[in-house]
Structure 1
Amino acid sequence: MVSTGGVRGDESSFRARWHDDQESIHISVRPDGIDALPLEQRREALADLASTCSTALIAANDRHAVITDPPDPDYTLACGPAPTPRIDDVEVWLTDAPSIEHALAWIRTFATVLNAKGVRCTLSPSRWAGRSRPEPNGQMIPSAALCLKGWRIMDDTRRWGRYPNPGWVFDHELADRLLHSTLKWVVRDSPTPDTATVDIVVDGVGMFMPPTEAAWHLRRNLTNAKLMWFEQDTRSRNVRFDSIGRILAQAYEAHQPWTMTLAAVRSLLIDLHRDLELGVVRLAPNQTGKPGWALSSYAPLPEHLPRTRTIYSRWRHHDATKTFDAYGIQLLSDAHLAAAHDLTGWIITPLTGGMHLVEHPDPAAWFAHDEPDPHVLAQARHDFGPMIIDRRD
């Protein structure tokens, strides 16, 4: 056992999550009674615990160094970022451990120090211990950018450069629909979707949990919230809600053709079409395993538009009737189609609520390589014509 006094931990749980080649483990420090605290008190308690853990790990390293043979004052295990408060615990990153025995020896020392400081908590391996994310590899893969209906600016608009960067809010019914659909989509490839572990980020705090728990946390603040499911380093899906009412999504399959990921992101357009005013599927660099999931909405911009970082927020109100460029698959409204030049060569599938799925007959020309076929793209821009936004807008 790694328990001492008011600090409890099950040694077998750490052994079960350890792999001989990993050399590191993430430790969850979960204080007693944290679930009973209101959110603001919980944040304060976890911030205090993170500070206590910082001093405790330094003391644990000082004490742990003397158990090496011979004693090595530079031998430390707890490295990585500072202890991080999350929703209901604090994470400590233990790395450079030659074996599970070294790791457990350090955890026992750490538990002793925490107990001496009056901490009452449970130590356990974090849910992602021993799991590897898919590495972002720069590969261009089909990605979706979806613009929500009904978004509205919050009263306390923030400033971004010379232009307002509006936050956005929406009603609870819309939030529930979005979370139901996006969480279902994220875990669709999991063999056990109801109990799959979802990686989410809310208010800058990351955690792992089943979809039902994730929905509760995400509902508090969907602005810049992120959710992701992954299976070791072979496949993953992620969704990001950005600050101006858009959803960005990617699916990654390491050993499957591009048609599989294209079908995945295309299905999300259809799943959410009732709540969208515009949706596009485009090529973007694979970011599915990157912390922060840095998906941008419509990169690269067509040549005729200015290169300013505020362009999307400044022209967000045009999304209901315009599009930034021609794309191989788009979800468009009646108003979009009325502004197009000539779409007779495209496949148009009517959906409900005046929305239409508009697809090029040759998807390989758009998604089989790192960029669309230039001749096909030029013709598509001609087909869409005045529906594409320009500087005069």
Structure 2
Amino acid sequence: MANRDGVRVDLDGILLQLEAQGFDEVRVEFVPDDGGGAAAVADVVRQAVDTANDVANEALPDSIWGSLLTASLAGFSVRLGSMDSQEALETWLEAFGGRVRAGGLSGELRATETVRLPAWDSPDPMMTAYIALGALSALGRAGAAGWAERAVRWAAEAGGDAYVGSSGMSQLDATGEVAAHLASALHVASSGAVLYADARASRAAMAEVGSDGQAIYQTHDVSASLVVQADRARAAILAEADYADYAFVAPTPHRAYGWDARTRALPPLREEIPAYALRMHADLWSRFVPDVHCMQLLTDEHLDRVTDLSGWTVTHVTAERTLVEAPDLAAWLGPGGPGHSVLDQARADFGQALVPADGVR
């Protein structure tokens, strides 16, 4: 292991990982000797990535590029791709090390230990809660840490091993500090996910959030019906009721990577509302709903637009948030979703709370 003025570079380990990745890309991490969680350290590491990209590509144009910086369990991890030679890799590593040294840091630069997530996905619909939290930047560091604690508490009920993910990277987290690691990922990369799954992936729970604050909570349990799993979706919504602008529940086939996944859920989204609108128009959902669902968390502004909720189960959760549920969840969560008459009546009940089609074009 080379030691250059306090930055120890495990080049052999990085090359082995690069070989294991088919010489296509490799994730390297900087593990500071001290202060790994400090905001100032993250800023220096981010600057070091930019410096290394500039230096390496000035010396060897279009030879290597570092991207997708996030927090790892031990420090900070960056993806190195588009490299065409070991010389380019070594040039990048040297420039990165020089910048972190200039920032007053010492530590180890090595390959990141990553894993593939267990095969917990299912072709059958999985219960999914979609929750709008507002932009993570508005939550602040304390707000992001609070979300991480609640998300881990909710997902951990599935049992099994814990995995933390961000920026396309997943790590098995057996440290007992899962919430802290998830919060670090949110701080560095503005997105993150936690998954708990048993060894055979017969039961799992995943919570993830993007920089826009659109979060997804998804459960998979081969031993429980969707109606039973709706309790877990409700628990996720209630845990976030003080922070959410809107939430809805829908059974979604396969893993949901974002709110666009609603297009695969039942019942079908209104034809005049494209799925991308849910992501592109996040500012609307504190006032309007894209469509009716078996379970929704509404603001007072939603309620002012609703026509009639006499046929729904209505629970006032906080001073400004109300949970509205269909009285017969089984009718909504069956294989074909609710019948046309049920859906038509539900849309009539919600009336002007449904977002106008011309509002999302």
1:383, distance to aligned residue in structure 2 (A): 1.3
1:170, distance to aligned residue in structure 2 (A): 2.5
1:297, distance to aligned residue in structure 2 (A): 5.6
Local SS of the residue matching 1:276: coil
Pick the aligned partner of 2:286 from 295, 311, 320: 320
User: Does residue 189 of the first structure (1) align with residue 174 of the second (2)?
Assistant: no
Over 3 Å counting, the alpha-carbon distance change for 1:294 and 1:137 in structure 2 is farther
User: Does residue 175 of the first structure (1) align with residue 178 of the second (2)?
Assistant: no
Measured against aligned partners, the alpha-carbon deviations of 1:261-295 in whole angstroms (never above 9, x if no partner) come to: 2111111111110111211011211217xxxx455
Greater mean alpha carbon deviation, residues 362-371 or residues 29-38: 29-38
Aligned equivalents of 1:33, 1:368: Cα separation in 2 = 52
- Contact kept in structure 1, 2:120 and 2:220, CA below 8 Å: no
Q: Tell me which residue corresponds to 1:278.
A: 246
1:358, distance to aligned residue in structure 2 (A): 0.7
Q: How large is the Cα RMSD of the aligned pairs? A: 4.4
Unaligned runs of 5+ in 1: 9-23, 49-83, 93-113, 153-166
Structure ID, larger Rg:
1
Over 3 Å counting, the alpha-carbon distance change for 1:132 and 1:302 in structure 2 is closer
Aligned equivalents of 1:86, 1:287: Cα separation in 2 = 22
Identity %: 17
Over 3 Å counting, the alpha-carbon distance change for 1:260 and 1:199 in structure 2 is farther
The one-letter code sitting in structure 1 at the alignment partner of 2:354 is I
TM-score (norm 2): 0.66
Q: Tell me which residue corresponds to 1:208.
A: 172
User: Does residue 133 of the first structure (1) align with residue 118 of the second (2)?
Assistant: yes
Pick the aligned partner of 1:231 from 176, 198, 208: 198
Q: Tell me which residue corresponds to 2:333.
A: 367
Aligned equivalents of 1:332, 1:264: Cα separation in 2 = 18
Q: Tell me which residue corresponds to 1:79.
A: none
Aligned equivalents of 2:252, 2:209: Cα separation in 1 = 17
Q: How many residues align?
A: 301
Q: Tell me which residue corresponds to 1:382.
A: 348
Local SS of the residue matching 2:158: coil
Aligned equivalents of 1:226, 1:361: Cα separation in 2 = 32
Measured against aligned partners, the alpha-carbon deviations of 1:187-211 in whole angstroms (never above 9, x if no partner) come to: 12227xxxx5332215x44333242
Over 3 Å counting, the alpha-carbon distance change for 1:222 and 1:382 in structure 2 is farther
Aligned equivalents of 1:368, 1:294: Cα separation in 2 = 23
Unaligned runs of 5+ in 2: 2-7, 11-20, 53-67, 80-89, 95-106
Measured against aligned partners, the alpha-carbon deviations of 1:325-356 in whole angstroms (never above 9, x if no partner) come to: 11011111222122111111111011112211
Local SS of the residue matching 2:278: helix
Aligned pairs for 1:1-393 within 5 A: 38-39=41-42, 42=45, 87=71, 88=75, 126=113, 128=115, 133-148=118-133, 151=134, 169-190=138-159, 197-202=162-167, 204-209=168-173, 210-221=177-188, 223-232=190-199, 233-287=201-255, 293-294=257-258, 296=260, 298-299=262-263, 302-307=269-274, 309=276, 311-393=277-359
Aligned equivalents of 1:330, 1:370: Cα separation in 2 = 20
Aligned equivalents of 2:269, 2:240: Cα separation in 1 = 26
Over 3 Å counting, the alpha-carbon distance change for 1:253 and 1:40 in structure 2 is same
- Contact kept in structure 2, 1:343 and 1:383, CA below 8 Å: yes
Over 3 Å counting, the alpha-carbon distance change for 1:187 and 1:376 in structure 2 is same
1:31, distance to aligned residue in structure 2 (A): 7.2
- Contact kept in structure 1, 2:260 and 2:275, CA below 8 Å: no
The one-letter code sitting in structure 1 at the alignment partner of 2:295 is I
Over 3 Å counting, the alpha-carbon distance change for 1:245 and 1:124 in structure 2 is closer
1:229, distance to aligned residue in structure 2 (A): 1.8
Over 3 Å counting, the alpha-carbon distance change for 1:141 and 1:374 in structure 2 is farther
TM-score (norm 1): 0.61
Over 3 Å counting, the alpha-carbon distance change for 1:377 and 1:199 in structure 2 is same
The one-letter code sitting in structure 1 at the alignment partner of 2:163 is V
- Contact kept in structure 1, 2:31 and 2:76, CA below 8 Å: no
Local SS of the residue matching 1:169: helix
Over 3 Å counting, the alpha-carbon distance change for 1:136 and 1:201 in structure 2 is same
Aligned equivalents of 2:233, 2:49: Cα separation in 1 = 37
Aligned equivalents of 2:270, 2:251: Cα separation in 1 = 17
Measured against aligned partners, the alpha-carbon deviations of 1:188-239 in whole angstroms (never above 9, x if no partner) come to: 2227xxxx5332215x443332424324413414733222222222121112
